[in-house]
Amino acid sequence: MNNEKRNQNYLKYVEQKSPKASWFKSLFHAFLIGGAICCFGQMCGDIIKSYFPLMDILLIGTWINVIVITLTILLTAFGVFDKIARFGGAGTIIPISGFANSISSCAIEFKKEGLVFGLGAKMFYIAGPVIANGVAYSLIVGIVYYILQILAVV
Partner 1 sequence: MNRKIGDQTFELVSKPTIIGTGCFVGEKEAYGPMGKYFDGYSSDDTLGQDSFEKAERKFFERAINIALRKTRLKPTDIDYMIGGDILNQLVSTNYTARDFQIPLIGVYGACSTMSESLALASGLMSGGVGKTVLCLTGSHFSAAERQYRNPLEFGNQRQTYSQWTATGAGCVILGSGDGPKITKIAFGKVTDYGVSDIANMGAAMAPAAYQVLKAFFIDTKTIPRDYDIIATGDLGKLGSDILRDLLMKDGYYLGQNYMDCGHSLFNSEQKTFQGGSGAGCSAIVFSSYLFEKLKNKEINKMLLVATGALMSTTLNQQGETIPCVAHVVEIMNLKEKVNG
Residues found near partner 1 in the complex (CB under 8 A): 6-8, 10-11, 13-14, 17-21, 26, 76-77, 79, 81-82, 84-86, 89, 92-93, 98, 101-102, 104-106, 108-110, 112, 125-126
Kindly state the smallest distance separating residue 131's Cβ from partner 1, in Å.
16
- Which DSSP category does 94 fall into? S
Q: Is 102 in contact with 130 (CB distance < 8 Å)? A: yes
Kindly state the smallest distance separating residue 103's Cβ from partner 1, in Å.
10
| CB closer to partner 1, 77 vs 143 | 77
**Length of the chain (residues):** 154
| CB closer to partner 1, 74 vs 147 | 74
Give CA angle at 66 (64, 39), nearest 5°.
30
Residue 61's Cα: distance from chain center in Å?
Answer: 18
Kindly state the smallest distance separating residue 9's Cβ from partner 1, in Å.
9
Rounded Cα distance between 26 and 126, Å, is 23
Residue type, 43: M
Kindly state the smallest distance separating residue 60's Cβ from partner 1, in Å.
26
| CB closer to partner 1, 62 vs 133 | 133
| CB closer to partner 1, 60 vs 108 | 108
Coil, strand, or helix at residue 22? coil
| CB closer to partner 1, 40 vs 109 | 109
If one counts every other C-beta atom within 10 angstroms of the C-beta of residue 97, the result is 27
Residue 71's Cα: distance from chain center in Å?
Answer: 15
Kindly state the smallest distance separating residue 39's Cβ from partner 1, in Å.
19
